[in-house]
Amino acid sequence: MSNLKSIASNTTVQIFGKGISTLLGLLVVAIMTRALGAEYFGYYATAIGFLQFFAILGDFGFTINTAKLLSEPNFDKRQLFNNLFSWRLITALTFQGTALIAIWLLPYNIEIKIAAAILTLSYIPNILNQVFTGYYQTKLKMSTVMIGEILGRVVLVAGAALVAYKNYGFLPLMAVVALAAWVYTIYLWRKSEKIKLEINKKISLTIFKKMWPTALAVICNAFYLQGDRVLLPLYVNPVDVGFYSASYRILDITAQVGFLTMGILVPLLTYAWSRGLKENFKNYYQLSFDLMLLVLLPLVAGTIALADPIMRLVAGPEFEGAGKILALLAISTLGVCFGTTYSMIAIAIDKQHRSTWIFLITAILAVIAYLIFIPRYGMYGAAYVTIGSEIFAGLGLLIFCAHQTKLWPKFWNGFKILLASAIMGVIITYLQPLNIIISILLGALIYGLLIILLKIISPQTVKKIFTPQSPIA
């Protein structure tokens, strides 16, 4: 199978699987928000936001670097994977253990602290999943990851529904979250090659040599991506935290499509760059830009147009006031689009160490801004700082990668995608009030027709993707 056909096949599987997973994820949010209410959902968001801050601190870019290292011919693949898994387990236990101790030193509600202790059990398997995801990305077998994710989501939906129906309360629901995470990880573990804990000095040095620039960038990311969710509960009431976090959960679920799309392309970008296949790299470089815009821009436009009804549908009437925050935060997805694309391209060309200054500057500016604007403007201050920091980092990375590769993306297709998304968003806004399901289906139809009319995807491109070619050795 050709590389383009592999991309098409894996992208199709991921889009289908991510569609199911997204619907299940939204269903989980719907159950949890209704079962907990805004105040207790704020407690949950505070606990999980704190743990996620430490999870990002200890991320080190394992997902993307696993895919990259396994795409290189330097070590035995099984031994390399064993070392990657072993180090990921060590970092997971270290950072989540530190988070568990740290949260007891802060003036959070006792229920938040107990919830964090339970949810720690969910973050350890979630962290290990990063290595498995990189492994399956390399093998272009993301169907395994999709099945595992859906299986975990099914368990979470069923468990959350049972807890809500029986009215068991806040902490039992946290236990269900932990159980679902382990189901997902155990599935990926059983489907992979046999794993054993192994630390090889030479391999470990290579791993950390490759990862330290990404690790530094990710640590900076923790401050500007998660700083709002750690600081916000210290200055506003739990209801506002619940509003802000419910909006963020919806965006987090949909934005994962972009991360998975780039996850497919990184091994191919790495392969082409490392072997001097300039034309192949140029094609994948442009494809990365176009695919991210094609997927994420209509989501941004649709979310802004339907923010209020989305919050009513997903979280319930109690969260309708979060629609304005959702519309604001959706704008930050533009920055996520560029940031995800070009941070991964920087890794593919092995220049990530030179891009760390972008994340460092963004982190410093974001933390200063959070400390100024959150105490004064609450969740709206947090949202505006998030938008600014995401777009600043994304554009910085685009310029950096263009300078390093001497390639600027062609913006004409991107402009047409933006135009199609904007037209769709305006039409859907004008048609309101309308049933939200009808609005979403109509928006998808309008966007699809505009893609064809504006020739964003040409028949030649479709034919090229699905016509067998000689694979690259």
Whether the pLDDT of residue 228 is over 50: the answer is yes
- Hey, CA dihedral for 310, 313, 319, 321, is it positive or negative? positive
Per the CB < 8 A criterion, the answer to whether 32 and 316 are in contact is no
**pLDDT tens across 262-286, in order?**
666 777 777 778 777 788 888 888 8
Dihedral, 21, 23, 26, 28 alpha carbons, nearest 10:
-70
- Across the range 439-468, mean pLDDT stands at 72
In total, how many domains does the chain have? 1
**pLDDT tens across 232-247, in order?**
888 888 888 889 888 8
In a domain, 473, yes or no: no
Q: Which residue has the tokens 């990375």?
A: 397
More confident call, 160 vs 136: 160
Whether the pLDDT of residue 464 is over 50: the answer is no
Whether the pLDDT of residue 468 is over 50: the answer is no
Whether the pLDDT of residue 423 is over 90: the answer is yes
Dihedral, 264, 267, 270, 272 alpha carbons, nearest 10:
-90
- Across the range 186-214, mean pLDDT stands at 79
pLDDT given for residue 155 in this prediction: 93
Radius of gyration over alpha carbons of the chain, in Å? 22
Closest residue by Cα to residue 189 from 40, 64, 302, 88:
88
In a domain, 317, yes or no: yes
Count other C-beta atoms under 10 Å from residue 434's C-beta. 14
280/393 Cα distance (integer angstroms): 27
450/425 Cα distance (integer angstroms): 12
Domain that holds residue 107: 3-409
Whether the pLDDT of residue 208 is over 50: the answer is yes
Q: At residue 134, what is the residue type?
A: G
Whether the pLDDT of residue 11 is over 80: the answer is no
Phi, psi at 311, each rounded to 5°:
-65, -40
- Across the range 290-299, mean pLDDT stands at 84
Return the H-helix or E-strand segment holding 166: helix 142-166
In a domain, 434, yes or no: no
Query: What's the burial of 109, exposed, middle or buried (CB within 10 Å: 0-12/13-18/19+)?
Result: middle
Whether the pLDDT of residue 460 is over 70: the answer is no
Lowest mean pLDDT among 116-120, 204-208, 230-234: 204-208
Q: Which residue has the tokens 């694309």?
A: 341
- Across the range 295-313, mean pLDDT stands at 87
Helices (H), 323-458: 323-348, 356-405, 411-430, 436-453
Q: DSSP letter at 114?
A: H
Whether the pLDDT of residue 472 is over 50: the answer is no
Whether the pLDDT of residue 130 is over 90: the answer is no
- Hey, CA dihedral for 73, 355, 363, 380, is it positive or negative? negative
- Across the range 392-400, mean pLDDT stands at 88
Whether the pLDDT of residue 3 is over 70: the answer is no
In a domain, 20, yes or no: yes
In a domain, 118, yes or no: yes
Closest residue by Cα to residue 69 from 191, 205, 196:
205
Half-sphere exposure of residue 304, counting CA atoms within 13 Å on the CB side?
20
In a domain, 184, yes or no: yes
* E strands in 48-194: none
In a domain, 466, yes or no: no
Whether the pLDDT of residue 398 is over 70: the answer is yes
In a domain, 414, yes or no: no
Percent above pLDDT 70 for the chain: 85
Q: What is the pTM (predicted TM-score) of this model?
A: 0.73
- Across the range 128-139, mean pLDDT stands at 74
**Backbone region of residue 109 per phi and psi (left: phi > 0; alpha: psi in -120 to 50; beta: other values):** beta
pLDDT given for residue 254 in this prediction: 66
pLDDT given for residue 13 in this prediction: 64
Angle of CA points 400, 402, 403, to nearest 5°: 65
